[in-house]
Amino acid sequence: MKKIAVYTSGGDAPGMNACIRAAVRAGHYHGLEVYGIIKGYDGMINGNFIELDNRSVTNIIQKGGTILKSARSEQFRTPDGRKKAYDQLRSFGIDGLVAIGGNGTFTGAELFYNEFKMPCVGAPGTIDNDLYGSDFTIGYDTAVNTCLSAIDKIRDTADAHERVFFIEVMGRDTGYIAVRSAIAGGAEMAIIPEDAFNNVGEVINRLQHGTSEAKASHIIIVAEGDEVGRATAIANEVKIALPQLDYKVTILGHVQRGGAPTAADRVLASRLGLAAVEGLIEGRANVMAGIIDHKVVYTPFIDTITKRKPISEDLSCLPEKLNGRKYKV
């Protein structure tokens, strides 16, 4: 293996630049030529490649976003688009790929490998932390801390006005961000897709008990689930049952994707960028590099994109237990 290319795809996540930096410098450490592909699969199709040396990735480890940009590619979903991408890679002499992204990125990489056998090792870059094969994903820790900062500020105004705040956080169809944000932010509960018991009836019950105990304000974290605005729908239902309370909804949105990555995300991204490159050198292909129990592991893309990564029960029930009382609906 002489030449590799690195790209970012799908939703951006804080720490992607740290991962790019690690991949580039690891490649040069092992004597490889390293290219960056601008705008993910679209850039691969259009031949938007740039050579990267160690200086190219100076002073980016602390930056959010991705210097390689990101885009979702409809053309790559077609056989003709993937053939164009392969032809571009061959024209540049690329022997292997480092893909930084999430479920959609690795779905594309899996399909591409099955068709053209281009070796690819992925690094999990998504704030959702929903990829099987790694305890944590790049950007997740930063997103949780961004949410926590917002929750702390909202708690001040909630207490001042004795309000109930529903705070919606990202996470796609998982509740990892919601659960850890709720625990760290001292919220009454987290409503997550994985827990069918966290429903409107339970919210109403907890608020009734809270007001009877003279609790002045309430913070409830809601994972966005299948669509943005879930917190508003839940708040409207609760308001019908308990019209005497003052309700507000805050949807944190894309602020969760931005900002400087935390130390934890920088270290994780650096380890995974190195692991991806060394995986290619070792002859690995069609796998994602991850960290489980502090050790580097490699998981086939097909497992990464099809297997669920459940939230541990002891973690998901923590907000309720720390609320100090078990309620029955």
Task: Give residue 324's pLDDT.
Answer: 63
Is the domain of 87 the same as that of 204?
Answer: no
The whole-angstrom separation of Cα 19 and Cα 275 is 10
Is the domain of 24 the same as that of 135?
Answer: yes
Is the domain of 178 the same as that of 283?
Answer: no
The answer to the question of residue 106 being in a domain is yes
As for how many domains the chain has, the answer is: 2
Tell me the per-residue pLDDT of 202-244, one tens digit each, with 9 for 90 and over.
Answer: 888 888 876 556 577 899 999 997 666 789 999 999 999 999 9
Residue of 128, 130, 195, 265 with catalytic role: 128
Q: CATH number for the domain including 176? A: 3.40.50.460
Task: Give residue 135's pLDDT.
Answer: 98
The answer to the question of residue 326 being in a domain is no
The answer to the question of residue 240 being in a domain is yes
Tell me the per-residue pLDDT of 138-179, one tens digit each, with 9 for 90 and over.
Answer: 999 999 999 999 999 999 999 999 999 999 999 988 999 999
Task: Give residue 65's pLDDT.
Answer: 97
The whole-angstrom separation of Cα 179 and Cα 223 is 9
Is the domain of 172 the same as that of 232?
Answer: yes
Is the domain of 119 the same as that of 265?
Answer: yes
Q: What is the pTM of this model?
A: 0.94
10-residue mean pLDDT profile of the chain (329 residues): values are 96 97 98 98 98 98 97 94 98 98 96 97 98 98 98 95 95 93 94 76 82 74 80 92 94 96 98 98 98 98 96 87 61
Is the domain of 178 the same as that of 288?
Answer: no
Please say if 128 is a catalytic residue. yes
The answer to the question of residue 266 being in a domain is yes
End-to-end CA distance of the chain: 61
Is the domain of 235 the same as that of 273?
Answer: no
Buried (b) or exposed (e) across 170-190, using 16+ Cβ within 10 A?
bbbebbbbbbbbbbebebbbb
Is the domain of 88 the same as that of 128?
Answer: yes
> What does each C-alpha distance from 265 to 139, 224, 272 come to in angstroms?
6, 23, 10
Is the domain of 190 the same as that of 285?
Answer: no
* Residues in contact with 98: Cβ distance below 8 Å, sequence separation at least 6, in sequence order: 4, 5, 6, 7, 23, 120, 121, 122, 123, 273, 276, 277, 280
Domain that holds residue 9: 3-139+261-306
Is the domain of 107 the same as that of 175?
Answer: no
The answer to the question of residue 272 being in a domain is yes
The answer to the question of residue 320 being in a domain is no
The answer to the question of residue 317 being in a domain is no
Is the domain of 62 the same as that of 128?
Answer: yes
Is the domain of 128 the same as that of 147?
Answer: no
Entry field: residues in the chain: 329
The answer to the question of residue 105 being in a domain is yes
Q: CATH number for the domain including 294? A: 3.40.50.450
Task: Give residue 105's pLDDT.
Answer: 97
Instruction: Give the three-state DSSP class for 231.
Output: helix
